[in-house]
Amino acid sequence: MATTDKASPRDRLLDAADQLFYRDGVSIGVEALCRTAGVSKRSMYQLFESKDEMLAASLERRLPRYQAQLTPADPVAGTPRGRILHVFEQVAKASTAPDYRGCPYLAVLVELKDPEHPASQVARVAKERLAETFRTQAEEGGARDPGLLARQLMLIFDGASARAGARVERLDDGLATATVTALMDAAGMR
């Protein structure tokens, strides 16, 4: 995501944060963020109290785009089973991009290891929303234990995203969707 001169300094910083944190990790320095955004450090600190606050704001800003990517165009069409499979099909599709690094929210949780960090809190909300979506779909689809199935689906989602992001697994061969289908079958989901 390239920054533009017409964007505000705040937007340029958030664009740079989104790009660099995802590509290089949360340890990227303020100097690199400011250079990429074309904003002085002084201006950055006038807009954000800290790099941590900027990271959290960047993740918050990304959340609607992330959720839209995983949601079918018509979220009430199809079956609960189909809506769950859609999530995994989208991840498989995204994973083929050369710049795919896995789930950005999982990456932040793993890198930071601090549950009180503002970015960890945003990331946890993102993961909880996805788990709740899985639980709701599992319940609507008649799964025997929707909560358990949602947890299992999150393990598959996070594991598949991490392995594909690390380039040790390919998701475009149907492995994740086949695994998810087997879990839904075992849970008695229609």
Residue-wise pLDDT for 59-69, tens only, equals 999 999 999 99
Of 65, 43, 66, 68, the closest CA to residue 54 belongs to 43
Residue 67's CB is within 10 A of a number of other CB atoms, namely 13
- Domain borders along the chain are 1-48, 53-186
Query: Do the domains spanning 1-48 and 53-186 agree at the CATH topology level?
Result: no
Residue 97 φ/ψ region, left for φ over 0, alpha for ψ in the -120 to 50 degree band, beta for the rest? beta
Rg (CA), the chain: 18
User: Residue 5: what pLDDT?
Assistant: 55
Give the pLDDT score at 76: 80
CATH number of this structure's domain 53-186: 1.10.357.10
> In this structure, which topology does domain 1-48 adopt according to CATH?
Arc Repressor Mutant, subunit A (1.10.10)
CA 67/CA 76 separation, integer angstroms: 15
pLDDT value at residue 26: 94
pLDDT given at position 174: 94
- pLDDT at 170 (0 to 100): 87
Average pLDDT, the chain: 95
In this predicted model, what pLDDT tens digit does every residue of 76-118 receive, in sequence order?
889 999 999 999 999 999 999 999 999 999 999 999 999 999 9
